[in-house]
A = this chain, B = another copy of it.
Amino acid sequence: MKKTSLLLFLFVLCIGFAQTEDEKQFKTIYDMALTEGKAYHWLNHLSNQIGGRLSGSVQAQQAVEYTKSQLDSLGLDRVWLQPVMVPKWVRGAPEFAYIETKPGLTTNVPICALGGSVATPGIGLKAEVIEVQGIEDLAKLGREKIDGKIVFYNRPMDPTLISTFQSYSGCVDQRYSGAAEAAKYGATGVIVRSMSLRLDDYPHTGAMSYGDTPIEQRIPAAAISTNGAELLSTTLKLNPNIKFFFRQNCRQYPDVESYNVIGEIRGSEHPEEIMIVGGHLDSWDLGDGSHDDGAGCVQSMEVLHLFKKIGYKPKRTLRVVLFMNEENGLRGGNKYAEVAELKNEKHVFALESDAGGFTPRGFSFDCDDANFEQILGWTALFEPYLIHMFVRGGSGADISPLKDQRLVLSGLRPDSQRYFDHHHAENDTFEHVNKRELELGAATMASLVYLIDKYGTVRPSKVKG
């Protein structure tokens, strides 16, 4: 009994000491991020010197070169570019649209082509409009009511959901598959209400897909601002016979070569166990991609920078991966996982930041129960930094192809309330990112990586094959 008590005492003592050491390490990480962090400086360059970084664009290439040069300057063990072929879609001349209540009487409305859409005819496309609340309405209406018309998808994001990502999920099928589905009923084009919870004049672009629609049956698709959608809907209620005109000359080019940008600190004890932190370097072209996902890139770079600055040498290999082409292809994420499998690399942990540079609230985890239990044991360490959310859920698009490795996948969860005000729109710009919020996110990521590195994951996953 006595011996057990003593052991218990020593055990508690050890936990006590460990806790104190972890607490200190957290404080060191956060202090460094908030005083000597580089994330905001890097984001300034990405946003204001380079700008929107659509896959295949000059800006995307500039971003590859800039981030590689910055990683080169951090004294990492290795920095390299991983080639990947990416789609190249170009918006072309600014889009133009109006509502025609009667011939000659028109009201301009703000639209933008959806990413991947075909162009309208050069002189534009004018047709009557049929408003629907979602893809499921098409079958009810049938070809007779849709043929020859523009389908207007107008189901708004649900404002009563607290997570705006959940609201987004409930709408985005209209944008992604709306054109392919409407084409089946003879529609000539589609207009989609922007995925935003605000009423304003910004159209929000984003990826769409024609699926297996034959090329000659593909119809142009554009997003309309939420104010524009409200106007169009009201106008249609007054007169269902009004016409809508839009013109866009976007175009898909052959794939081009681009790169994932990767930097690595080799693990001192278990170099074969790889942890990655990442975001996606590409962005849409309307804004400068500060929140989506410049923020995630610079926060991920910052994790390695912070470890260097505080002199923390990870036991496991730590990589930052800046993925190319998350927005319209996920080619970078797929390529990274493919190469990892080819090389028989063993990934134990992957953390993505792709939900904006807002105040961090926690993480979501895609992992087994044992690992989630271990993580829940760490939450008290995060409490002083107001990090409260540790939930099961999705992680990040770019790291999801690694899932076969049965590793711990995680996504940073910043405050989501304002994310879709800016998402894929002209106002996703640098001035809407707050320096401290960005830095707190980076520190929060670094703190989790520190714990994963120190304590390891539970039942390290076996590499496939």
**Residues of A participating in the B interface, judged by any CB pair closer than 8 Å:** 30-31, 34-35, 159-160, 162, 164, 197-198, 359, 361, 384-386, 388-389, 415, 417-418, 421, 434-437, 440
Number of copies of this chain that the complex holds: 2
Contact A162 B421 (CB under 8 A): no
Cα–Cα, bound, A417→B435 (Å) = 9
Known: A436-B417, A437-B417. Contact between A35 and B159, CB under 8 A?
A: yes
Contact B415 A434 (CB under 8 A): no
Which of A359, A417, A437 has most B Cβ within 10 Å? A417
Cβ contacts under 8 Å, A359 to chain B: 359, 415, 417
Contact A34 B389 (CB under 8 A): no
Contact A418 B434 (CB under 8 A): yes
Contact A162 B417 (CB under 8 A): no
Cβ contacts under 8 Å, A436 to chain B: 159, 164, 197, 417-418
A332 to chain B, nearest CB (A): 31
Cα–Cα, bound, A384→B166 (Å) = 13
Contact A417 B388 (CB under 8 A): no
Cα–Cα, bound, A361→B362 (Å) = 13
Closest residue of chain B to A439 (Cβ to Cβ) is B159
Closest residue of chain B to A434 (Cβ to Cβ) is B418
Cβ contacts under 8 Å, A418 to chain B: 434, 436-437
Q: Which among B160, B384, B415 is the interface contact of A415 at CB below 8 angstroms?
A: B415
Contact B386 A386 (CB under 8 A): no
Cα–Cα, bound, A436→B385 (Å) = 24
Pick 16 A–B contacts, CB within 8 A, sort by A.
A30-B160, A31-B160, A34-B159, A34-B160, A162-B385, A164-B436, A197-B436, A198-B435, A359-B359, A359-B415, A359-B417, A388-B388, A388-B389, A417-B436, A418-B434, A418-B437
Cβ contacts under 8 Å, A389 to chain B: 386, 388
Cβ contacts under 8 Å, A198 to chain B: 435
Cα–Cα, bound, A384→B389 (Å) = 11
